[in-house]
Amino acid sequence: MEMIRIDNFRLTDRNKANGNVIFNYEGDEAWADFNFYLQSTYCVSIRLGRHDTRLETRDIEEFIRQNSQALKQQVQPDVERLRRERREGIMAQQD
């Protein structure tokens, strides 16, 4: 299973982010929604959400297990950016 990219990475709760992970599936793109659980600016856990029916749940979960550390490192800059943007938005509202 080959991951192509992560699209639409966004904060969905105080300590949770979601992103659509796009995979190469037989020359076509297939998606899976990943839930990233956060503590401060770090991703501590990743779980599978909804996904394209062409992909097998067990295959995606195995992909997460095998690539968890790399995925966490890949989203770290986005988590930091989203946290900073949220803080700046809150500060702007207080002014």
Model's pTM, two decimal places? 0.91
**pLDDT bracket for residue 95 (50, 70, 90):** low
Per residue in 12-70, pLDDT (tens digit) is 999 999 999 999 999 999 999 999 999 988 999 999 999 999 999 999 999 999 999 99
Instruction: Report the distance separating Cα 39 and Cα 22, nearest Å.
Output: 25
Per residue in 53-65, pLDDT (tens digit) is 999 999 999 999 9
Residue boundaries of the structural domains of the chain? 2-94
